[in-house]
Structure 1
Amino acid sequence: MQRTLTAMALVLAATATTATAEDKIVVEFGYPYSHLFDVTYEAILPKFYEAHPNIEIKMRATYESYEDGTNTILREAVAGTLPDVTMQGLNRQAILVEKGIAKSLEPFIAAETDFAKEGYHKAMLDLGTFNDQVYGLPFSISLPVGYYNMEVMAKAGYTETNLPKTWEDVVQACVKLREAGVDNPMFWGWNITGNWFLQALMWSQDKPTVMGADFQLDTPEGLKTLETMQSIFTGCEMQNLEWKAALASFSAGDLGMMYWSTSAVGAVERAMGDFTLVTAEYPGIEASGPLGLPAGGNSALLTSQSDDPEQLAAAWAWLKFITSGEGAADVARTTGYMPPNQAANEIILADFYAENPAKATAVRQLPLLREWQAYPGDNGLAATQVIYDGLEGIVTGEFADMSKLQEELTEEVQDLLD
């Protein structure tokens, strides 16, 4: 795990108020992906402290991934060391609700005089609603997009007007780029958290990956998903890069194309070399484009084990601040995520996306938003790893027969879900 020490310490010091340490209520907070979100919280904290000088936010060690975040919270629940507020992947909320770790936010919402659920995009708010109770408020929402280095793409005759529309187009572009002398034309984010890109190909065909407790890979859409991956990996001769190395390689200007979450736009822009970055809609299996795409991102959950009303009120104040208004607007300003709150959109959308077109692509794809599904039951994380290993086997060439892999993955994952 990484610790967010230097930058956060500077923010905390710079925003100190006249209130003494004894006067402040300390809210412990855990979140993932330091490389994406440190800059976001550096922007949010001064505004929060100005509004709430009696509250101190204590940042815990950041989670390496959403799976790491869920495992950490499950361990801390047993040890009695939970943070007051945690950020969890949209597809990992259910298990914390089922185990009674996450608290319902309905009592806090009901006590607010100026809080309206309608302020949050309904499709996004639904992702944190269980049994008609809101447990998670969406903080950052992403969709998969295409990243293009236009100087590299120009070597094969591509401009912003003829970028790939289908995965077959992508493979053709890889061939042209290799002929133009590009050693590694493309990276496709198979290893992104939560089997997100597998679900993206399934939803592209309007097929959920899970229905109830049934794994849907044993369908024609499932086979098409695996075959599409294989065609991308082999047709592009894609290197099996670890995802951080892939982002670094694209930022350095080595890759012509990268297919990843829009969440990384801000990080790429801060790290990129001297080239023109363009993002475009996620390609489809068919020329008509995807029929749906899974919503990525995370939600803020209240996991405090305190019974002190003041402590809980402080935790709610932080949770509400970061998911609404200026707090949510800073998510879009500092990352490539979309703000889940309509009020935040009103603050920034009028000019922001016109001035930042690379961050606007996911917004255009919002009508495609579908659920990022979790695998139900206590073995959900194990199922995620089984699928991960299977997909890596396609990348490395270990698995060549997609029908056989479909059968093996279906049997192993279904056994875990059953």
Structure 2
Amino acid sequence: MYLSRRTFLSTATAAAATPILRSSAHPQTTIRVSYASAPAKGLYQELARGFMEARPDIKVVLDSPAIDYDNLVQQTLRQNITRQLPDVSHQGLNQIRPLADRGIAVPLDSFIASDPDWEAIGVPETMTSLASYGGKTYALPFAISVPVLFYNADLVKKAGGDPDRLPSDWDGLIALGRKIAALGEGISGLYVEYTNNGWSFQTLVGSFGGRMMSEDDKKIAFDGPAGLQALQLLQRLGTEGQPAFNTDQARQAFRTGTLGILLTASSLLTGFQQSSAGNFVLKVGSLPVASPTAKLPAGGNGIVMLTDDPERQKAAWEYIKFAVGPAGQNVMVEATGYVPVNLAALNDPAGLGKFFDKHPEHRIATQRIAMMTGWFSFPGENNSKIIKTIEDHCYLVVSGKQNPAAALASLKTDVDALLPH
């Protein structure tokens, strides 16, 4: 989504007045920035444009977008071998640890500590901790994605539901999904994503009060009651009629108005608003949470510095500050459904506060900020393989090919074999 010229100019004006932009970089410094994925191209073009408007002494060159976060981190690892790394990268929050463990990501603590304007930016420690490993900060979160439910309110109403009183628990959701599916004519009811870079499984485990590993990352923890409940829910969804879609097919079905309810990432909100406009009424609801100790993984991406060149590091730091500051966060929120990481921007009545008042559906995801925790990244060399293993087991459960208890035991064994010992 491209911003209107008026919004862009007001954002650029705000950026020019922001204290974080006072530090200087070498004139005509050029930095490369990588990101994922293609649908986000407009966002990063606007972000780069706003930054260069505020800092004409720094030029931003965007790499071609990677397919997704997993492909982006694999691309980055290859670029490290060939010495073709970009200077900055927007990496998935669960893919930053491999870059930190290999010494590719540059710790940002010294930049934060030595910057006199950092505290004024408005990014709380709870957000910076989402990409911290071994006591060091390896990225600053840029955009947080929260699990939400998207509803086609027209189908909800047609099936006898009340779009203004949506279900708050899984029993109600599944029952409503069945009613919508019963409408026939190629209509599907409820789809819960279970293959999304491991984020969906972690979300369900967290909603039942569990976690992926012990606090010291030495022992698997998802094999307890919360993990079993997550897989039992997936099994129930399969037997109750969840359509045999993959993630892309489910999202496309929702866009075209043939899927009634979709559990996915809040970052898709703006795109769904565009596709639903004039076709059906879109509603947003919160994920059911079954535990008072629930913690939900923060999806989305964090900004990693990769260059070891001192001059480009200075320019890269200015870009990072802009992106997580009020101006960059305004660009990000208005272009997506991501949750801002900047609380000062979130509470600004003249900035995002005003935007949320006009677009209340964007505020739903912010209600879960207090529950956010890091998108878990497994230690060792096999994070991507473990994610694929988790998704394969989830598929076996949803498709009825494996029962939850057996799947959980098998998953524990397979993941344990991929962890360092």
What is the TM-score of this pair, normalised by structure 1? 0.88
| Mapping for residues 289-368 of structure 1, pairs under 5 Å | 291-305=294-308, 307=309, 309-345=310-346, 346=348, 348-368=351-371
CA contact (8 A) 1:156 1:176 kept: yes
SS in 1 for 2:376: coil
Q: Which runs of 5+ in 2 are unaligned?
A: 1-7, 13-26
- CA distance, structure 1, for counterparts of residue 78 and residue 143 of structure 2: 25
Distance in 2 (CA, whole Å) between partners of 1:413 and 1:179 is 39
1:71–1:224 Cα change, 3 Å: same
How far off is 1:89 after superposition? 1.3
2:56 is the alignment partner of 1:39: no
- Deviation string 1:197-219 (CA, Å, 9 cap, x unpaired) is 11111111221111113222321
Could you tell me how far 1:117 is from its partner in structure 2? Answer: 7.8
* Contact 2:151 2:262 (8 Å CA) reproduced: yes
- 1:163 Cα offset (Å): 1.3
CA deviation vs aligned residue, 1:59-80 (integer Å, no higher than 9, x gap): 1121212111111111111111
Measured in 1, the distance between the counterparts of 2:249 and 2:138 equals 35
Q: Residues 199-210 of structure 1 correspond to what in structure 2 (within 5 A)?
A: 199-210=202-213
For 2:162, what is the secondary structure of its paired residue? coil
2:4 maps to none
State how 1:154-193 maps to structure 2 within 5 Å: 154-181=157-184, 183-193=187-197
Q: Using the alignment, how far apart are the partners of 1:96 and 1:165 within structure 2?
A: 39
Distance 2:334 2:124 in 1: 18
Q: How many residues align?
A: 391
Contact 1:338 1:363 in 2 (8 A): yes
CA distance in 1, matches of 2:267, 2:121: 24
**What is the aligned partner in structure 1 of residue 231 from structure 2?**
226
Shift, 1:289, TM fit:
7.8
| 1:97 counterpart = 2:70 | no
Aligned-partner residue type, residue 324 of structure 1: G
For 1:283, the aligned partner's letter is: P
What are the superposed Cα offsets for residues 307-361 of structure 1, whole Å, 9 maximum, x if unpaired? 3x32221122212211112011211111000110123222533211121122111
Q: Which residue of 2 aligns with 1:6?
A: none
Deviation at 1:167, TM superposition (A): 1.7
Please give the per-residue CA displacement for 1:82-140, whole angstroms capped at 9, x wherever unaligned: 11001111122222111110111123223322112872132211112233332211100
Local SS of the residue matching 2:259: coil
Deviation at 1:393, TM superposition (A): 1.8
Give 1:16-415 correspondences, 5 Å limit.
Answer: 24-35=28-39, 37-116=40-119, 119-181=122-184, 183-193=187-197, 195-211=198-214, 212-235=217-240, 237-273=241-277, 274-284=279-289, 286=290, 291-305=294-308, 307=309, 309-345=310-346, 346=348, 348-399=351-402, 401-415=403-417
Instruction: Name the SS for the 1:258 alignment partner.
Output: strand
Alpha-carbon distance between aligned partners in 1 of 2:145 and 2:36, rounded to the nearest angstrom? 15
Decide which moves more: 254-263 or 67-76: 67-76
Instruction: State whether residues 213 and 375 of structure 1, in contact with CA within 8 Å, keep that contact through their aligned partners in structure 2.
Output: no
Counterpart AA for 1:413: V
State the SS of the aligned residue for 1:140. Answer: strand
Match in the other structure for 2:24: none
Residues 88 and 307 of structure 2 are in contact (CA less than 8 Å); yes or no, is this contact kept in structure 1? yes
